[in-house]
Chain A
Amino acid sequence: MVSTSALDFRIPSDLGQIEGIVAQVVHRCRECRFDARLLSLNVPVALTEAIANAMLRGNGEDVAKEVRIRAEVSEVRLVVEVEDEGEGFDLDACAEDPTTPENLAREDGRGLFLMRTLMDEVVQVEGSSHVVRLTLRRR
């Protein structure tokens, strides 16, 4: 039987709070014996990107607007949903490759790329344009 534990946070759009939330999710993944590399790279970087994106682009850096982070962790996988209070966006429309020669020297544009590269799946939750779901299988 697979046991799943859940975390649920609601935080203001304060970038300084991201690291603490990420640390708690990583800790829960460690308890579920995720591979060390996933704990030190994939989970913290992808989750930081998702929460920062919700605060900066979704909520427009408005500290009065909240971000909700729900994480379900089991010995099979991590599923995180990050929800903002913004107008929503089309995730599939953001497909620019930051590794091409013309984009390489840009300061921005790597966040979604890293999320997609470091997670097994990054999707918008069906029926909601402002909830992103990240899935990572344990290995």
Chain B
Amino acid sequence: MTLDANLHGDVLVIALHGQLIVGNRQALKQRVLDDIEAGTRKVVVDFANTGYIDSSGLGVLVSLAKRLRELGGDLRLANLNADLRTLFELTKLDSLFQIADSRDQALASF
């Protein structure tokens, strides 16, 4: 998994390439925590190029969202494929996250 991070105004957009799983989840977590430390409060994770996520990947998203909300911000998700949507529905995490159909929609939601 690799990630591209870009600022759109005050929103950090992270595009993931590859699976978000136990072996690489720390890379995403550390990147976002570093940006939170630097003042970022709004984050969009774009899953357009991600096939699947495991429970560790889901856990990192939950953890980061919790941290951002404590600071008055949020982490929102975009471009989930049908499998990822199913994962979020099965785990009921679709009720915890704001999920947008596109990156633009996620950006506009802030």
Interface residues of A (CB under 8 A from B): 15-19, 37, 40-41, 44-45, 48-49, 52, 56, 98-99, 104-111, 113-114, 117
Contact = CB atoms under 8 A, between A and B. Distances in A.
A45 B22 contact: no
Contacts, number: 72
Interface of B: 19, 21-24, 51-56, 58-60, 62-63, 66, 83, 86-87, 90-93, 95-96
> What is the interface of chain A mostly: helix, strand, loop, or mixed?
helix
Given A16-B23, A41-B86, A104 B95 contact: yes
Contacts of A109: 55
Given A40-B83, A49-B55, A110 B21 contact: no
Contact of A52 (B54, B58, B92): B54
24 contacts: A17-B23, A40-B51, A40-B83, A41-B52, A44-B19, A45-B87, A98-B91, A99-B92, A104-B92, A104-B93, A105-B66, A105-B96, A106-B59, A107-B59, A107-B60, A108-B55, A110-B58, A110-B59, A110-B91, A113-B91, A114-B54, A114-B55, A114-B90, A114-B91
